[in-house]
Amino acid sequence: MNPVGLDVSELEPVSRRSTAEIVADRIRTAIMRGTFAPGAQLGEVDLSSRLGVSRGPLREAMQRLVAEGLLRSERHRGLFVRELGPDDVRDVYLARTAVERAAALQVLAGDRGTAVVALEIPLGAMESAAAAGDAVALADADHDFHAALVAASGSPRLRRMTEGLLVETRMCLAAFQQTAPPAAELLVEHQRLRDALRDGHTELLLDRLAAHMDDAVQRILAAMPGAA
Amino acid sequence: MNPVGLDVSELEPVSRRSTAEIVADRIRTAIMRGTFAPGAQLGEVDLSSRLGVSRGPLREAMQRLVAEGLLRSERHRGLFVRELGPDDVRDVYLARTAVERAAALQVLAGDRGTAVVALEIPLGAMESAAAAGDAVALADADHDFHAALVAASGSPRLRRMTEGLLVETRMCLAAFQQTAPPAAELLVEHQRLRDALRDGHTELLLDRLAAHMDDAVQRILAAMPGAA
DNA sequence: GATAGGCGGATTGTTGACAATCCTAGGTGC
DNA sequence: GCACCTAGGATTGTCAACAATCCGCCTATC
């Protein structure tokens, strides 16, 4: 609490975000959740009327999503949800490994105590989700875990990259969300990541992180229709 | 050459890029070159009239640049060129190190012969620029070297990340482009990177890459006004 | 003299309509 | 029956005008 008597987080967004940003977030989560199937066409008039905004801000939001790689734009054809193939899965995790490795090293070099504390929240959520068998909550917790890890690095750029990569990860997962993930195994893997981080075992942490990513790729590719 | 008798690169853009994309590229290079000073406000009507487009496509382009982190948007205030401080310099190079390290490992695991060949072009340009004392050409060659390295990894995502990071690097460099860079030293550093890559010396390459990044940070911070 | 309130100018945010382009379906000639 | 051509419908790309918001300056008041 500060002298004004308000939590700083409340007065931070003195001016709320732009319409384009809100629209982009909405569509991004919709794509992430699998509401829009991969390859589906997104009509501008349809979306704009459904979201209650004009086509101007909507097009601005679309440009962002195209830049993020979530949408594919064909001139005078329309906007389509990108379809991720096996190569994309491997590439997403290759990039994630690179970014999260760097983030982990930064955390180890800095204040890893607060980082471990921050990781406990998604770990708790993951435990609950695993016990309840809630696949969506499990994916959310997984997402939050890695986001928290990178956020703890204090690097805005690593954070922003991870943000985009995690969305793509969710797109990959949404493709085969009917198959139940090995919740217990997933939980243990994340707990071991936290343990290695807490104890400051650099090499162990990096190895476990790489292995964790490889496992995920194998799991996804195994459940993917046209995987090589 | 294919049966049609055309280079594939010529028929790739069957439909030319959207106006927003062209505008974004123009402004991006302008920011990169330092045409727009950091912190400068970019008026929409001014830019749109100067580029000969309406405000619609221009705003779409701006959204992209904001998403890339080149511009800062304040609601009902305007768009401003982001000013990069010492922390940003360190962060850009931290991210670059992470991405280029991963790219280098991919190149080493794949076809490093063609990669070395691809690196010779910017190296030649760098040599010429160093001999001629052309700072801009030197920066261009440096840019191209690292872009070629990451492109050789075959990873679209690493490539796209690098694209953005290199633009930010140029923004950092533009801040103090009056000071002449140590051209000879820079050339040798890049040649040694190529040598380690050519000979397949993994650890040596990674070490030299990290050292190369650290050197750059030190050089930039030393020439920076308010560096800590 | 310092501060609160209000006005003018300028900029951004949003909207609806117009123009260009493309895919699809139907028809025609061979 | 097949290929080509043409008209229709729908979608995106672009534009100019309207509305909302904010900053700086000025004035009036304490």
pLDDT at B173 > cutoff 90? no
B188 — alpha (psi -120 to 50), left (phi > 0) or beta?
alpha
Tell me: do B50 and B147 sit in the same domain. no
Do B161 and A95 count as a contact with CB atoms less than 8 A apart?
Answer: yes
Instruction: Please state whether strand D lies within 7 Å of residue B191 at its CB atom.
Output: no
pLDDT at A12 over 80: no
Given A34, A49, A81, which residue is the final one in a domain? A81
Among A81, A115, A136, give the residue marking a domain's end.
Answer: A81
Q: How confident is the model at residue B226 (pLDDT cuts 50, 70, 90)?
A: low
Does residue B109 fall inside a structural domain?
Answer: yes
Domain stops at, among A59, A81, A103: A81
Task: State the pLDDT at residue A89.
Answer: 95
Instruction: Give dist(CA A196, CA A131) in Å, integer.
Output: 24
Could you tell me if A71 and A98 lie in one domain? no
Show the tokens assigned to B220: 């930039």
Ramachandran bin of B57, using left for φ above 0, alpha for ψ from -120 to 50, beta for the remaining angles: alpha
Q: Do B15 and A95 touch (CB under 8 A)?
A: no
Is A50 within 7 A of strand D by CB distance? no
Q: Supply the pLDDT for residue A178.
A: 64
Question: Which residues 6+ apart lie within 8 Å of A43 measured at CB?
Answer: A78
A74 touches chain B (CB under 8 A): yes
Mean pLDDT of all residues in A120-143? 95
Residue A4 lies in a domain: no
Separation in Å: D26 C1' and B227 CA: 41
Cβ neighbours of A75 in B, within 8 Å? 15-18
As a rounded value in angstroms, the CA-to-C1' distance for A21 and C17 is 25
A5 falls within a domain: no
- Which CATH number does the domain housing residue B25 bear? 1.10.10.10
CA distances to B112, B148, B190, B207 from B201, rounded to whole Å, are: 11, 19, 15, 10
Residues B138 and B176 in one domain: yes
Cβ-based contacts of B106 with chain A (< 8 Å): 94
B59 touches chain A (CB under 8 A): yes
Q: Per residue in B6-38, pLDDT tens?
A: 444 444 445 567 888 888 999 999 988 888 888
Assigned domain for A69 exists: yes
SS3 B42: strand
* A32 shares its domain with A134: no
A55 touches strand C (CB under 7 A): yes
Rounded to whole angstroms, how far apart are CA atoms A104 and A162? 13
pLDDT tens-digit series, residues B79-99: 899 989 899 999 999 999 999
Q: Is A181 in the same domain as A146? A: yes
Checking ipTM against 0.85, whether it exceeds it is yes
B185 & B168 share domain = yes
Q: Are residues A30 and A97 in the same domain?
A: no
Domain total for chain A? 2
CA of A126 to C1' of C9 (A): 56
**Of A59, A64, A94, Cβ closest to residue B155:** A94
Gap between the Cα atoms of A175 and A177, Å rounded: 6
Same-domain check for residues B75 and B156:
no
Q: Is residue B2, in this structure, part of any structural domain at all?
A: no
Domain hosting B181: range is: 86-222
Domain-located, residue B1: no
Q: Is residue A114 domain-shared with residue A193, that is, in the same domain?
A: yes
Mean pLDDT of chain A: 88
Q: What is the CATH number of the domain that holds A93?
A: 1.20.120.530
Same domain, yes or no: B126 and B32 = no
Q: Please list every residue in chain A whose beta carbon sits closer than 8 Å to the beta carbon of residue B161.
A: 95, 161
Mean pLDDT of chain B: 88
A58-62, B177-181, B195-199: segment of lowest average pLDDT: B177-181
| Confidence band of A226 (pLDDT split at 50, 70, 90) | low
Q: Tokens 């790739």 identify what position?
A: B12
With both helix axes pointing from N to C terminus, report the angle between B86-109 and B156-174 in degrees, rounded to the nearest 10.
Answer: 150
pLDDT attached to residue A7: 46
Q: Which of A59-63, B103-107, B181-185 reaches the highest mean pLDDT?
A: B103-107
pLDDT beyond 60 at A109: yes
Q: From the CA of A206, how many Å to the C1' of C30?
A: 71
Residue B228 lies in a domain: no
Say if residue B101 is in the same domain as residue B199.
Answer: yes
Pair B192, B204: CB distance under 8 Å = no
Residue B7, domain member (yes or no): no
- Inform me whether the C-beta atom of residue B15 falls under 8 Å from chain A C-beta atoms: yes
State both tokens at B123. Answer: 């190296």
Distances (CA, A) of B99 to A102, A152, B146, B170: 9, 19, 11, 17
Residues A109 and A199 in one domain: yes
